[in-house]
């Protein structure tokens, strides 16, 4: 079962009071066929059961249910629920409009959350957080309704955006934290726990990778700097001015050539241990810096000639 199907299964089984049921069913019908009779089509068995129960509990109407295999590539089962009686009264009670629902359907936060639950069941998909990207989207029929839904989502600070895709409009959320917030809003507690566990694991893994990359970059920089110092020492020897260095500077230069991949700290520790003459990282740096300055003068003189 996909992550989207798992979330829809959980949301379909949540308890709601009567007003919230009306708002939830309003979103479901608004996003179905209701030109003549009301016809709700879904691939999710739990959603089909919920829709049937909502019509029965709210209007004492028992939808006709038919099941057939779909024509899409995965050939999932399609559940069709048809209501042919009391349709005008039902539409009026549900506040279903031509493009937008009546304002009483989403009059407060609780009703708006219930409406978004119904919308999610009919028109949404959400990526499993184990995949390479975070993404939640609603596929809607017209721009006016898409902008309305985006406004509803952003009432809860979810940073949704609207995109025109072929003959449809997509309202989407890409931020991992905001998708988690939406799952909380629609009451999908189990999905939130799973989602956050995976998200935290991925964030930790990404942080570890970044630290490893940073560490590797530091190692590469240390080696590059060390090789430049070795070149400086070799240049002084070629120019016959190596003997201008004092004993301490020669000592450091000899160990640098011997251990070209060692960091300054590691070099200071090696020299201190092998010679018995304690030297700090700063001391190694200052002596190598003097060698560097002398090598620069040699190069400058060569360029002048």
pLDDT, tens digit (0-9, with 9 covering 90-100), for 2-28: 889 999 999 999 999 999 999 999 999
Q: What residues does each domain of the chain span?
A: 3-187, 218-304
Give pLDDT tens digits for 53-112. 999 999 999 999 998 876 655 567 889 999 999 999 999 999 998 889 999 999 999 999
Residue 206 pLDDT: 63
Is the per-residue pLDDT at 46 higher than 90?
yes
CATH homologous superfamily for 3-187?
Homing endonucleases (3.10.28.10)
Q: What are phi and psi of 133, to 5 degrees?
A: -145, 155
What is the per-residue DSSP string for 126-169? E--TTSSS--EEEEES-HHHHHHHHHHHHTTT---EEEEETTEE
Nearest CA-CA partner of 159 in 173, 147, 171, 146: 173
Q: Give the whole-number percent of the chain exceeding pLDDT 90.
A: 46
Query: Are 248 and 221 contacting, i.e. CB atoms less than 8 angstroms apart?
Result: no
Helix axes 247-258, 189-238, angle to 10 degrees: 130
Tokens standing for residue 142: 């017209």
Residue 72 pLDDT: 58
What is the pTM (predicted TM-score) of this model? Answer: 0.67
Query: Are 104 and 95 contacting, i.e. CB atoms less than 8 angstroms apart?
Result: yes
Give pLDDT tens digits for 183-239. 999 998 898 888 888 777 666 556 666 666 666 777 777 778 878 888 888 888 888
Residue 284 pLDDT: 85
Query: Are 214 and 39 contacting, i.e. CB atoms less than 8 angstroms apart?
Result: no
| Least confident piece of the model among 139-153, 197-211, 250-264 | 197-211
**β-strand partners of 136:** 126, 173
Question: Averaged over 140-160, what is the pLDDT?
Answer: 95
Number of Cβ within a 10 Å radius of residue 40: 26
pLDDT band at residue 145 under the 50/70/90 scheme: very high
**β-strand partners of 126:** 136
Residue 281 pLDDT: 86
172, HSE (Cβ side, Cα atoms, 13 Å): 17
Helix axes 18-30, 45-59, angle to 10 degrees: 120
Specify the residue for token string 């070099």.
267
């Amino acid at each position: 079962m996909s992550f989207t199907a798992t979330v829809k299964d959980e949301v379909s089984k949540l308890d709601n009071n009567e007003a919230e049921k009306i708002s939830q069913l309003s979103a479901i019908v608004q996003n179905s066929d209701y030109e003549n009779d009301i016809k709700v089509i879904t691939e999710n068995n739990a959603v089909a059961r919920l829709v049937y129960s909502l019509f029965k509990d709210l209007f004492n109407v028992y939808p006709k249910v038919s099941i057939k295999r779909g024509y899409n590539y995965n050939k999932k089962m399609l559940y069709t629920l048809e209501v042919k009686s009391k349709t005008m009264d039902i539409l009026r009670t549900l506040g279903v409009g031509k493009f937008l629902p009546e304002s009483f359907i989403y009059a407060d936060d609780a009703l708006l959350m219930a409406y978004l639950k119904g919308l999610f069941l009919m028109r949404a998909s959400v990526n499993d957080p184990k995949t390479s990207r975070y993404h939640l989207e609603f596929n809607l029929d017209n721009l006016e309704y898409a902008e309305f839904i985006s406004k509803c989502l952003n009432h809860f600070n979810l940073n949704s955006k609207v995109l025109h895709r072929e003959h449809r409009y997509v309202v989407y959320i890409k931020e991992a934290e905001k998708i988690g917030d939406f799952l909380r809003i629609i009451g999908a507690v189990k999905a939130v726990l799973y989602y956050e566990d995976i998200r935290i694991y991925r964030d930790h893994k990404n942080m570890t990778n970044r630290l490893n990359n940073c560490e590797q970059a530091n190692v590469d920089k240390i080696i590059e700097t060390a090789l430049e110092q070795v070149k400086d020492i070799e240049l002084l020897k070629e120019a016959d001015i190596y003997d201008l260095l004092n004993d301490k500077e020669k000592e450091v230069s000899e160990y640098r050539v011997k251990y070209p991949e060692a960091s300054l700290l590691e070099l200071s520790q090696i020299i201190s241990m092998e010679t018995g003459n304690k030297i700090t990282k700063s001391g190694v740096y200052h002596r190598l810096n003097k060698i560097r300055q002398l090598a620069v003068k040699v190069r400058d003189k060569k360029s002048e000639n």
